[in-house]
Structure 1
Amino acid sequence: MRTTLGSPRAWLRAHPLIGDSALALVLAGLSVTTAVLIGTSDPTGASGPVDAPDALSLTLIALCCVPLALRRRWPFVLLCAAEVAQIVLAALHYDDGLTGLVSLILLYTVAAYRGLALSLVAATVASVSYVISTLLGDDVGGWMQQTFVAVVALTVWVVGRSIRLRRAYLAELVDRAERLERAREADTRAARAEERSRIARELHDVVAHHVSVMTVQAAAARKVLDTRPEAAKDALMAIEEMGRTAMREMRGIVGVLRTDGEAGELAPQPGMVDLPGLVDQMREAGLRAQLWVEGERRALPPGIDLAAYRLIQEALTNSLRHAGPAARAWVTVRHDPGELLVQVEDDGTGAGGRLARGPEDRPGHGLVGIRERVALYGGILRIGPRQGGGFEVRARFPLKDSHI
């Protein structure tokens, strides 16, 4: 059962000194009581004569048990001290109460919190001390008793080592998971930064085109303002429309900064009108692709036009790479009022492999770029398995009114 936050067990784990102190006091009290009862009621003992308890014996028992409160800090030192106290008690023929439990607890602590070498030394010290105490106290006992003691001590040591190894294994797993998470986040940030830089370059070309057209129109309006007012009016209206479009693009790119400082490409960027050529390229590469365009076609904002094209391009490329040689792909573009729907599906058998890099696990850089593009324009994206087999990528782009 897991330890819940605020439970007594969790509180004791957070304050080990308190729990160890209580354990030490309980064992000390039980050991003193046992020694007094045995020494006064049955001085001959079950295994040999014992002297009546006095201040020295009770002090040795207390000194053996009370330091148990610091067992997590100095387990080996306290084990040696406890064994020395037990040897003295056996040599003076005093009953040692329950100090044997103290030795087992300290042996477990050394095995669970210290290295292998020190834990082996602790086991040797405990074994030698037990043999010396047995011989000095004339309490050799039978072979069954000695075998039982040896099995119990060995079991305690093995349990301690197992817990230490398990704790180290879990710590390594946590550390490895944290390292992998940091590496994945770094890769994702790098992919997003790279994709944002590419988006910035592409949109820079779109906005630069609009500004260039506005400059030409303004120059033409200035030249014909006095002689041909109607022509100047048409030029000013074109400048107004271009300005509104440029403002929309600038608003969509807020927060996307160019990081490489390279000049944008001068060639015009592709758009939805280039989809037939893209589908033909995929067919020539071996993917049986088909294109459907539904609804009334309309002029799209340049940024959305480019983002939708790149999305289809990335999805078809993934289908070509992962869907299999006999796969088919369908591209559907639907123009709805106030919305553009783009959907790419395939019926390939490689969907399971592609899910490993889907949004639920470790997204590839291409899918990260798709998400960035769709989110940049307030769209909704779904990437996942297709009903009936295969894979699909679906995006909805909102189309806003063209006003500032």
Structure 2
Amino acid sequence: MTAIEGPFWRVIAVFRVASLVYATVLLLRAGGYAHPATGWLVIGFMALWTVATIFAYSDREFHGWPLLMADMLVTLGCLLATPLVQGAYRVGSLPVTGTWMGGAVLAWGVYGGRRVGAAAALIVSLADLWLHGVRGMRFETLPINGTVLLFLAGVLVGHVAKLARQAEARLQRAIEIEVAGRERERIARDIHDSVLQVLALVQRRGQEIGGEAAELGRLAGEQEAALRELVRLRPEPPAAGTADLRTLLQVYGSASVTVSVPATPLTLPAATAGEMAAAVGAALDNVTRHCGPHAPAWVFAESDGGAVIVTVRDEGPGIPEGRLEEAAATGRLGVAQSIRGRIADLGGTVTVLSAPGEGTEIEMSVPVLLASH
């Protein structure tokens, strides 16, 4: 039983109880019919089966065709006991079960869908029609309306239950895809950062060895000593508590990188501050890669109402239009994941302002209230 099916079984349980009460009222109003003892025996058995099905259908272990077949057999048995209770037929009277016989039809529909619900309605309807037919009824007095209602109940409830299960499955699949996507993004960021470190090491060793190794180092990412230092100094995100973002940003300061922070602390949850500092490091990595190891860059941090804003600016060649989308499509995830992905996971936004020959400005904003949770 899926979570979405629970309400259906509870509604069927309510229907069985209400129908049992209705059948009891019919028995009382008829004075017990022709055979009161047999009538109360049937009502008692219906009550016991009602209690049994309420518990059985609420337990996933009992779900299946054995229970459904038993439910149908009990329903047919009580329905076909009507002549033993009522004796001579009176036009317009209901069977001793009243509407209680619809419980099995609804159960079949919820379990198997509209076709199974229709099959259950057919079985019960044929039994009901046969019951009245063998008692000398004419066709015009047969309970056709009841048959139509049974079919409508079985088909409609079965169809709605099937749609509900499909919607639940799609929702679960969407949740799984979202979780998997977030995990892929996290892994992509970690891999991206690790690869930067490896490429920086390859470049350094290539320069030391010289010759073809130097060319290999250049092709490994055009990393130089400044980039290696930035990667080495990048702080690991603290695991718990709070942190002052200013402290994490100041380690990026160097002869070519100017870090400007306010006089008052920029207090954030430690994990949030660590991720934001890592995003700044990724932005500075891009400055080193695309503008050169000694290219000047500026980091500005401030608190603006309910948000903490950090801006990384350089005076490099700028980013041509469409270059970021092209880089993401080819698997270069520096901006897409290490910057935008990190900030998006924090509930923030990233704005990139750039034009060829006019440098690049990356503004990262994280809501303080969201970050505090």
Bucket of the pairwise TM-score, normalised by the shorter protein = 0.5 to 0.7
Q: 1:249 to 1:36 in 2, by over 3 A?
A: closer
AA aligned to 1:52 is: A
Q: Is the 8 A contact 2:80 2:127 kept in 1?
A: yes
Q: Which amino acid aligns with 1:308?
A: V
Counterpart-to-counterpart distance in 2, 1:308 and 1:156: 67
- Cα deviation for residue 195 of structure 1 reads 0.6
Which of 162, 166, 170 is equivalent to 1:165?
162
1:299 lines up with 2:256 in the alignment: yes
Q: Whole-Å Cα distance in 2 between the matches of residues 371 and 342 of structure 1?
A: 20
> What does residue 79 of structure 2 align with?
86
Provide the rounded CA distance (Å) in 2 between the counterparts of 1:199 and 1:347.
25
Q: 1:382, 1:346 → 2: CA distance?
A: 21
* Residue 98 to residue 385, structure 1, CA distance change in 2 (3 Å): farther
Structure 1 unmatched runs, 5+? 1-9, 41-50, 213-244, 256-296, 314-332, 398-404
Q: TM-score when scaled to structure 1?
A: 0.50
Q: Which amino acid aligns with 1:395?
A: I
State the number of aligned residues: 271
Equivalent residue runs for 1:5-404 within 5 Å: 13=6, 23-39=15-31, 51-69=33-51, 70=53, 72=57, 73=63, 74-94=67-87, 99-114=97-112, 118-140=116-138, 142=140, 146-204=143-201, 250-252=232-234, 254=236, 299-300=256-257, 306-310=285-289, 335=298, 340-342=312-314, 344=318, 365-367=331-333, 371-372=337-338, 383=350, 394-395=361-362
Q: In structure 1, what is the Cα distance between the partners aligned to 2:133 and 2:109?
A: 26
SS at match of 1:142: helix
- TM-score (norm. length: structure 2): 0.54
Q: Distance in 2 between matches of 1:75 and 1:337?
A: 69
Cα deviations by residue, 1:332-364 (Å, 9 ceiling, x for unpaired)? x8757897514856667x99xx59x99xxxx98
What is the identity, as a one-letter code, of the residue corresponding to 2:107?
T
* Helix, strand or coil at the partner of 2:256: coil
The alignment partner of 2:86 has SS state of coil
The separation in 2 between residues aligned to 1:153 and 1:15, in whole angstroms, is: 17
- 1:136–1:102: structure 2 CA closer, same or farther, 3 Å change rule? same
Q: Is the 8 A contact 1:32 1:97 kept in 2?
A: no
Distance 2:300 2:168 in 1: 56
The alignment partner of 1:129 has SS state of: helix
Report the alpha carbon displacement of residue 139 of structure 1 after superposing the two structures with TM. Answer: 4.7
Q: Deviations over 1:69-110 (max 9, x none)?
A: 416353442222122211121355357666231122220111
Q: Is the 8 A contact 1:91 1:137 kept in 2?
A: no
Write out per-residue CA displacement over residues 252-274 of structure 1, whole angstroms, 9 at most, x where no aligned residue.
Answer: 1648xxxxxxxxxxxxxxxxxxx
Pairwise CA distance, 1:162: 0.7
TM superposition shift of 1:142? 2.3
Percentage of matched positions with identical amino acids: 9
